[in-house]
Chain A
Amino acid sequence: MPRILACLLVLLPLTTQAATAQRIITLGTSITETVFALGEAQRLVGRDSTSLYPAAVFELPDVGYLRTLAAEGLLSLQPDLVIASHEAGPPQVLEQLRGAGVQVEMIDTGPTAEHALAAMQKVGELLGRADAGRELAQRNREQLAALQEQYAGQEKRPRVLFVLGGHGSQPTIGGRDTKAATMIELAGGENAATSFTSYRPGSAEALLGMQPDVILAASHGMEQVGGVDQLMKDSALALTPAGRSGRVIVMNSGLLLGMGPRMGAAATELAAQLHGKQTAENVQ
């Protein structure tokens, strides 16, 4: 009964409320980053534990991991708008937030460039900064288009294997439908691990079978395994073409996998490292 009443009270001004929301919680790194990129960070009152960029986010209260939220914790920050990645949950908690009169907006932050571009625009709209959001998306779209143009005609794309971290002997690698795969393709490479989806541990033989030309490693994962050299020593990666030629790229995890407003820049940087120096200069 109280919930029904609460819903009625909230539903009326719903559409106009978002644009003017002054106490916002963002759940999902790309969403948080977009709010910062749009210069609206002063309206944020909280963020989830995966939102780690830019450094100013650390001044905001952390509401915990976005899959295991607690309704009352979020409510204690008195938000009027929660912008959440579709991964946020559990669903009951989001429902409880809505029941408490908080506007909760879900954005699909799937692993494709289209998802990421649409998300930037959507965040802009929700903040009442639709133009700025469109502009941000457009800038990224242009950067990606430039890369596409440059590497589309290329006959042989380098086979890239993304290593997230995990145990040394069986590192966790990125398969199909991952942000890592998307970034590799955007940068003009070809994902070497295509036999599975999401991030999975790869055995020595599986790693050899993938024949990667380049190994792309996430920076925070490399801290876990004790650095790139240690990783190569512990796993069969050293025996792959990439290992033999020493072609290992380490990239900041947040930059590479964030797929927020820095997506275009990240893809450009990856492309530069992937295709050698002269091409990198061309891109600049």
Chain B
Amino acid sequence: MSELALRMRQWRGLRLPRGWLMPALAVALLLSCLVAIGIGPVRLSPAEVWSVLLSPLSGGSVQDQAVVWQLRLPRLILAVLTGSTLALAGASLQGLFRNPLADPGLIGVSSGAALAAGSVIVLVGVTAPVWLLPVAAFGGGLSAAIIVARIAKVGSATSVATLLLAGVAMTAIATAGLGLLSFLADDFALRSLTFWTLGSLGRAGWRELVPALPMLILAVLVMLRMARPLNALLLGEAEARHLGVNVERLKKMLLIWSTLGVGAAVSLTGIIGFVGLLVPHLIRLITGPDHRIVMQASACGGALLMVWTDAMSRTLVAPAELPIGIITSLIGGPFFIWLLIRQRQRIVG
């Protein structure tokens, strides 16, 4: 087996999954989680964090208990899962649209969620029960994606080009809706709305996280399983079918699970930009476009990115908190431009 692996690596044309990348990412993620749980405005030494974690009932003060168990741990889990989900959804949709610039926003999930959340913030306001916002956001994201998918459905097949256009139209409608809401909104609602669209992991505790956990985990697992047929889909739909891929089922699964995953993530965190675009793109630069490695590595990379940007969000302007969407876009935007320029130079030169 090792001889085989060696031979494959020698023949670089096949560029088989780079053996070192996944273990490296997994170890980096694990270490990051261990370090990040010790980072925050409340100063806790690693020893204190560990004594609290290892003895959930007796270690540390009540406040230390609460900080570690009620604030940092659910946040960390949320960071890992939403990061994985957003990056995987990005990779999935980029494969589905055969376009490396596709993004979960393209099928209307994010804008639908934002419109629904905005309606709750502005029209219901402070009297809304706590659960209403995430539920509405999830429902809004799902409905928008369903409408978009329905529009794109011709007979039993889904037209990818129509899907893209319908997504653009849906986003335009939702943006107009949000504009209308912001016009109706008073100052307070407006600021809440703005902050919601910038994203934060700080709103979700165990009570919000637990109902969404199965959906996020399932979305990650299902999307990871789509890697092989996604490679074939890049050749074209008919070509993928000739290679034994059930294309309609694949498209349906990709749409459903990226929507459910992103919907669940957005409902808990608000909109967090650039993760779905940046992470798979970056991974592809390292590994090439083979989804078997791109998907796994994106899941890890997305989680890694979110764990660290959330740590920054907690600490940069402490005791206040910077919305995480600002950080991801502020880091992601220039980085992405740099990648594009580098890529362009390589093509020209």
Contact = CB atoms under 8 A, between A and B. Distances in A.
Interface of A: 1-3, 5-6, 9-10, 46, 49, 61-65, 67-78, 86-87, 89-93, 95-96, 99-102, 164, 197-201
Contact of A2 (B69, B208, B314): B69
Contacts of B43: 76
B191 A68 contact: yes
Interface stretch (B180-188, B210-218, B290-298): B180-188
Contacts of A2: 56-57, 65-66, 69-70
A70 B320 contact: yes
**Interface centre among A64, A72, A86, A101, by most B CB within 10 Å?**
A72
Given A92-B205, A93-B203, A100 B67 contact: yes
Contact of B319 (A9, A63, A87): A63
A65 B191 contact: yes
Contacts of A78: 63
Interface string B170-203: 0000000000000100111001100100001011
B221 to A, nearest CB: 28
Nearest to A5: B57
B321 interface: yes
B146 interface: no
Contacts of B40: 72, 76
B225 to A, nearest CB: 34
A197 B71 CA distance: 37
B236 to A, nearest CB: 47
**Interface centre among B56, B66, B70, B203, by most A CB within 10 Å?**
B66
A164 B186 CA distance: 12
A46 B319 CA distance: 9
B41 interface: yes
Contact of A1 (B42, B57, B195): B57
A95 B206 CA distance: 12
Given A69-B321, A70-B200, A102-B63, 11 more contacts: A3-B69, A9-B62, A10-B62, A64-B319, A64-B320, A70-B314, A91-B130, A92-B208, A96-B70, A99-B70, A164-B187
A1 B130 CA distance: 21
B62 A199 contact: no
A72 B314 contact: yes
A67 B195 contact: yes
A70 B319 CA distance: 8
A91 B71 CA distance: 14
Contact of B62 (A49, A92, A100): A100
A78 B319 CA distance: 11
Given A73-B321, A101-B62, A92 B130 contact: yes
Question: Top 9 nearest A-B pairs by Cβ distance?
Answer: A64-B320, A100-B66, A76-B41, A70-B321, A73-B319, A198-B186, A101-B62, A76-B42, A68-B195
A63 B42 CA distance: 13
B34 to A, nearest CB: 18
B126 interface: yes
Contacts of A73: 41, 314, 318-321
Interface of B: 40-43, 56-57, 62-63, 65-67, 69-72, 126, 130, 183, 186-188, 191-192, 195, 200, 202-205, 207-208, 314, 317-321, 323
Contacts of A6: 62, 65-66
Nearest to B201: A70
Nearest to A97: B66
B312 to A, nearest CB: 13
Nearest to A87: B188
Nearest to B43: A76
B41 A199 contact: no
A86 B126 CA distance: 9
Contacts of B69: 2-3
Given A61-B319, A71-B202, A201 B70 contact: no
12 contacts: A2-B56, A6-B66, A70-B319, A71-B71, A72-B71, A73-B319, A73-B321, A78-B63, A89-B126, A92-B204, A96-B70, A199-B186
B183 A62 contact: no
Contacts of B70: 2-3, 96, 99-100
B41 A72 contact: yes
A3 B66 contact: yes
Contacts of B126: 86-87, 89
Contacts of B321: 64, 68-70, 73
Contact of A93 (B42, B191, B202): B202
B319 A76 contact: yes
A99 B202 CA distance: 15
B325 to A, nearest CB: 12
B196 to A, nearest CB: 9
B320 A49 contact: yes
Contacts of A164: 187
A199 B69 CA distance: 41
A49 to B, nearest CB: 7
**Interface centre among B63, B72, B187, B207, by most A CB within 10 Å?**
B63
Contact of A74 (B62, B130, B191, B319): B319
B78 to A, nearest CB: 12
Contact of A72 (B42, B62, B65, B208): B42
Contacts of B205: 92, 95-96
Contacts of B204: 92
A72 B72 contact: yes
A92 B56 CA distance: 22
B133 to A, nearest CB: 8
Contacts of A75: 41-42, 63, 66-67, 71
Contacts of B65: 2, 5-6, 100
